[in-house]
Amino acid sequence: MLGSRRLQQLQATEIDALYVALGAKLKPRTAHHVHVVLGACLATATRKGLLTANPMERVEQVPSPGESDHGMALDADGLRKLIEGSAGRCYSRS
C-alpha cells in the first residue's frame, strides 16, 4: 500500500486507509505498534529534513492499543481457590 509511495507524497488519508485495512487483519495491539513505529519513522524523516510536514500529525484513524492481556490480579477468593487447588502437590524446578 504505502511501499511504492515516495515519502514526500505520503498523505494522512493514505495512512488512515492503511489503519482501516490493518484493523481487519491484525489484533489491535499489533496495529497500534505499526502506528508507533510508522510515527517514529516519519518524525525522524521530518527532523532530518526529508519531509517538510509530518503527515502523521493529520491522521484521524489512530489504532487503539486495545486491552492488555498481560494478566490479572487475583482477589482474595481467587487466591484462596488457587492455594486450595494446589495443596498437597509438590512443585520443583526442572
Indicate left, alpha or beta for 6 from its phi (over 0: left) and psi (-120 to 50: alpha).
Answer: beta
What pLDDT score does 7 carry?
Answer: 85
Distance CA 77, CA 83 (A): 10
Give me 45's grid cell.
524523516
Q: What are the tens digits of pLDDT across the range 14-37?
A: 999 999 998 889 888 899 999 999
pLDDT at 74: 83
Look up the pTM and report it: 0.65
> Which triple of cell numbers denotes residue 38?
510508522
| pLDDT for res 84 | 86
Q: Which three cell numbers stand for residue 73?
A: 490480579
Q: What is the pLDDT of residue 52?
A: 93
Q: What is the pLDDT of residue 1?
A: 53
Residues of the chain with pLDDT under 70: 1, 68-70, 91, 93-94
What are the residue ranges of helices labelled H in 1-94? Answer: 12-23, 28-47, 76-86
Structural domains of the chain, ranges and CATH numbers in brackets: 7-86 (1.10.150.130)
